Amino acid sequence: MGMVALVVGATGLVGRLVTAELLDREEIEEVRVLVRRLPDVTHPKLKPILVNWEELDQYSNAFAGVHSVYCCLGTTIKKAGSQQQFRKVDVDYVMKTAELAKQHGVRQFLSVSSVGANSKVRNFYLRTKGEVEEGLAGIGFWGLHVFRPSLLLGERPEQRFVERAASMLMTTFDFAFKGPKLAPYRAVPALKVAKSMVNIGLADMKGYHVYTNEVIHVLGDAAD
């Protein structure tokens, strides 16, 4: 029998691509997605599970028999409406997902973070991402993989004007993002992040690993 994978945040930019990548892999027998609304795609391997994120404990059985969880949850303060609501999505939901995964013996947990994530910095967004990374590290997964991409390139379900403008600018000047100071901030196609995550999940490596933006670029190219 093949592996069962579970994706949270499956309707977002990276989550949609991770889901598609998993569905395309022979090693994967079933792809479960925890969603608030049914996805607009169907596939024999795809199993959508409608959830209320405020009562995630009620869907604990969704993690039973799962080999790898791909956590692509994330929002913006503007979309969330406040720092408190932002933390609910980017911290509370992520940690609850991880706790349920651990309870059910999930072997691999893969999570999207951000370049510059650090629990000690003043920037609220980066500090929050750093806190989540530390929380995940304390759970004790057999394999934990944290991906720290820079600005993500790709078509989002919703329009984000500032991100679209930044993407155009960074794509135009991509050639200039070289060297130790600028390479870590080079924009990265979301598809590279998705391919990197799926390949690492299937590799079934033990331990806690952090993948920087530069490494994601390399892994994404190698996955093509």
| Tens of pLDDT, residues 13-31 | 999 999 999 999 999 999 9
Distances (CA, A) of 146 to 1, 93, 113, 132, 167: 27, 16, 6, 10, 23
Catalytic-role residue among 129, 192, 195, 211? 129
Catalytic-role residue among 45, 59, 96, 125? 125
Predicted pLDDT of residue 2: 87
| Amino acid at the residue 15 | G
**pLDDT above 70 (res 53):** yes
Residue 198 burial (CB < 10 Å; 0-12/13-18/19+)? buried
8 Å CB contact between 176 and 112: no
The yes-or-no answer on residue 211 being catalytic is no
The yes-or-no answer on residue 129 being catalytic is yes
Extract the tokens encoding 2.
């093949």
**pLDDT above 70 (res 45):** yes
Q: What is the distance between the alpha carbons of residues 60 and 100, in angstroms, rounded to a whole number? A: 6
More confident residue, 77 or 127: 127
Range with the poorest average pLDDT among 134-138, 165-169, 206-210, 215-219: 165-169
Mean residue pLDDT of the chain comes to 88
Segment 96-121 shows an average pLDDT of: 97
Q: Which residues pair with 162 in a beta bridge?
A: none
8 Å CB contact between 33 and 7: yes
